[in-house]
Amino acid sequence: MAELKIIGATVIMKKEYKGIPFFIENLIPTVGIIILAGSPKIGKSWFVLQLLLSVCYKRDTFIGHKILKETKALYLSLEDNEARIQERIIKQGFSPSDDNLKFAFSWPANGAEIQNLEDFLKKNPEVKLICIDTKGKFTLGRVEESYQLDYDWMSKLKVLSDKYQVAIILVTHLRKRHADEDPYEQVSGSNGNTGAADTIIMIKRCRNQSKGNISLTSRDFAENEEDIFFDPNSCSWYSMSDNSNSILTEERQQIIDVIKKIGNNCRPSQIAEALNKNPKNISNMLQKMKQYRLVQSGDSYGTYKLSEENNEYCEII
């Protein structure tokens, strides 16, 4: 009979435990399985590439969350290729000067995927963050799905994460939610996947809109929902509080303040006069702000008012 390890409450209370370490505060812990789920083609791969580049190359924040620890990482970009990744890195404004971030564009599956990951970690102990994009590609060949089978597979990945003290991000899809269903049941596969995960991040964004939302639930930090924005020019994600490339710049805040003072249905010329700015420049800025849902068209032609969507987000399509 196997020896059982039992520990008393007083023993636990007398111990000093370290606080939960994070790569990205209240978003990506340094150890554990993280599921990142979202509908197809809403920017999940842009999200994880930006996340990895930010952690590997010394950015201060990512979507408003403080980056606390730098590391080397592996990105299994199983639905992309080298040329596309190069283009995306350039578009997001990064210029890697070393190989802190490594890429793989194919990976042996059919039951060998986790063992191959362990073989890589044995040879590359400095890599502490792994992103698998997508879980479906990584597990190609698995034909049976059930709560127990999914939980067992995720548990093997969890053992690997604990053994080598790494964080593993699994990118997957969301399915359409039924009215009476828990939002986290949208995650593709059985509940065995979400049950075994340490952290779940769900991204939602309506088609052709910049504003999105992330829902966070974790064993390591409080459940939360946050608004985020997708910039179609740099194909990067931001929050209102980002200092690196803020959606809510000082100039845009000035325009919002003028609209609040004058009242809704402001014309660009009114705002320009109040700020002593060129009306054409103000009109261009208002168009950009409209993309980010900071303002919207007013009740009469050519006017603007504050967006009614600032505290709302769309369900996935």
pLDDT > 70 in the chain, percent = 90
Average pLDDT, rounded, for the chain: 86
Structural domains in the chain, CATH included, are 18-238 (3.40.50.300), 250-306 (1.10.10)
pLDDT in tens, 252-271: 888 988 998 888 889 999 99
Closest Cα partner for 133 from 51, 57, 60, 58?
Answer: 51
Higher pLDDT residue, 86 or 176?
A: 86
Higher pLDDT residue, 58 or 47?
A: 47
Residue 185 predicted with pLDDT over 90: no
DSSP letters, 184-249, are GGGBSS-HHHHHH-SEEEEEEE-TT-SEEEEEEEESSS--EEEEEEEETTTTEEE-TT-SSS-SS-
The pLDDT assigned to 145 comes to: 74
The pTM of the full predicted model, rounded to 2 decimals, is: 0.77
Residues 6 or more apart whose CB falls under 8 angstroms from that of 194 comprise 35, 184, 185, 187, 200
Residue 315 predicted with pLDDT over 70: no
